[in-house]
Amino acid sequence: MGLNTVNPFDLTGRVAIVTGSNTGLGAGMAVALAAAGCDIVGVSRTDAGDTPARVEASGRRFADVRADLGSPAPAGDIVRAAVEAFGRIDVLVNNAGIIRRDNALDFTEADWDDVMDVNLKSLFFLSQAAARQFVKQQGGGKIINVASMLSFQGGIRVASYTASKSGVLGLTRLLANEWAAHGINVNAIAPGYMATANTAALRDDTRRNGEILGRIPAARWGTPDDLAGPVVFLASSASDYVHGHTLAVDGGWLAR
């Protein structure tokens, strides 16, 4: 993409697709990328939330794309819609994800398939659709996958989530290997314990909440804003030689 030596984090004029941009970490990353200069193609299932207003408040454009990533079928249409809206794409953030909790002895096939389909299968096929566009544009691109602490650890009662997020780490490496020669950087962010809808049940459980907080060196849950710097770094020319890395943003959780 060419290094801007004055501000290597400047994303002025870039176009970023962010899945699950209506809420939580996806909203935080969409707003951070807009603040750094990106126009945003926000992919939401039902409602875009207040993300369009927050993006437009920083002077950037927002294209509202509706898609259900429970299947990879919309992948091609999402990229086509982005190119139609803004003429090109530069960044894909694969953020949409779900979790199901149950004992491994009782875990159902539906809870396995639903999680794997959104967290891993659609992530792969949307990455493929974006990379085909990057190759066509001949200017490289940036893919940022959202991994998890359970890309590194086993977890408990979340069999399909652990399988999917461990898969995200491996796939991030594989895609980096295949696409680095095209100038495409594929990396991942592994958030620690972040205060979003995804973790509401954990935070509502006083005992689990206390156990988790007690183990985080930073002594607080993370927030969507904590991903702002990491996502801008991985979307920008500052990370042009970073390939296949999964960056933990976890208040020190993995260092314990």
> 19, exposed or middle or buried, with CB in 10 Å at 0-12, 13-18, 19+?
buried
Nearest-angstrom CA–CA distance, 98 and 23: 13
Q: Which amino acid is at 24?
A: G
Piece of the chain touching ligand NAP by CB under 6 A; list 50-58, 62-70, 173-181, 208-216: 62-70
193 catalytic residue (yes or no): no
Nearer to ligand NAP, 11 or 188 (CB): 188
Please list every residue from 40 through 59 that binds ligand NAP, using CB under 6 A: 44-46
Please list every residue from 187 through 226 that binds ligand NAP, using CB under 6 A: 191, 193-194, 196-199
> Which candidate, 239, 255, 228, 241, places its Cα nearest to that of 38?
228
Nearer to ligand NAP, 185 or 198 (CB): 198
**Could you tell me how many residues of this chain bind ligand NAP (CB under 6 A)?**
26
Nearer to ligand NAP, 226 or 237 (CB): 226
Active-site annotation holder among 124, 134, 161, 253: 161
Nearer to ligand NAP, 10 or 68 (CB): 68
Q: Residue 156 gets which letter from DSSP?
A: S
Please list every residue from 143 through 172 that binds ligand NAP, using CB under 6 A: 146, 148
β-pairing verdict for 91-94 and 15-19 = parallel
- Ranges of H-type helices in the chain: 24-35, 51-57, 75-86, 109-116, 122-137, 159-179, 200-204, 206-215, 228-235
Residues of this chain that interact with ligand NAP (CB under 6 A) are 20, 22-26, 44-46, 68-70, 95-98, 118, 146, 148, 191, 193-194, 196-199
Catalytic residue positions? 161
